[in-house]
Amino acid sequence: MNELPRRALGDTGIMVSCLGLGTVKFGRNQEVKYPQGFQIPGDREVESLLREARELGINFLDTAPAYGSSEQRLGRLLRDRDQWVIGSKVGEEFLSGKSQYRFDRESVQRSLERSLRALHTDYLDLVLIHSDGNDMHILESTDCVETLVQAREKGLVRAIGLSGKTVEGGIRALEMMDVAMVTYNRTSTAEEAVIDHALAHNKGIVIKKAFDSGHIARGEEESRLALEFALTRAGVSSVIVGTINPHHLQSNVENAVAALAGETRSA
**What does the pLDDT average to over 208-232?**
82
Share of the chain above pLDDT 70, in %: 92
Percent of the chain with pLDDT over 90: 80
DSSP state of 81: G
Q: Is residue 141 part of a domain?
A: yes
What domain range includes position 134?
6-259
Q: Determine, yes or no, domain membership for 239.
A: yes
CATH number at residue 163: 3.20.20.100
In a domain, 22, yes or no: yes
Residue 267 maps to a domain: no
> 34 catalytic, yes or no?
no
159 close to 126: Cβ distance less than 8 angstroms: yes
Residue at 266 is within a domain: no
Report the C-alpha gap between 61 and 223 in whole angstroms: 20
Return all residues near 96 (Cβ < 8 A) that are at least 6 apart. Answer: none
Q: Within a domain: residue 49?
A: yes
Of residues 221 and 158, more confidence is placed in 158
The model's pTM = 0.93
Residue 265 lies in a domain: no
Q: Is residue 165 situated within a structural domain?
A: yes
Under the banding of pLDDT at 50, 70 and 90, the label for residue 96 is confident
pLDDT tops 60 at residue 265: no
C-alpha dihedral over 144, 146, 147, 153, to 10 degrees? 150
User: For 20-43, what is each residue's pLDDT tens digit?
Assistant: 999 999 988 777 776 667 788 999
Domain count, the chain: 1
Residues 128, 160 contacting (CB under 8 angstroms): yes
Query: One of 67, 101, 123, 184 is an active-site residue; which one?
Result: 67
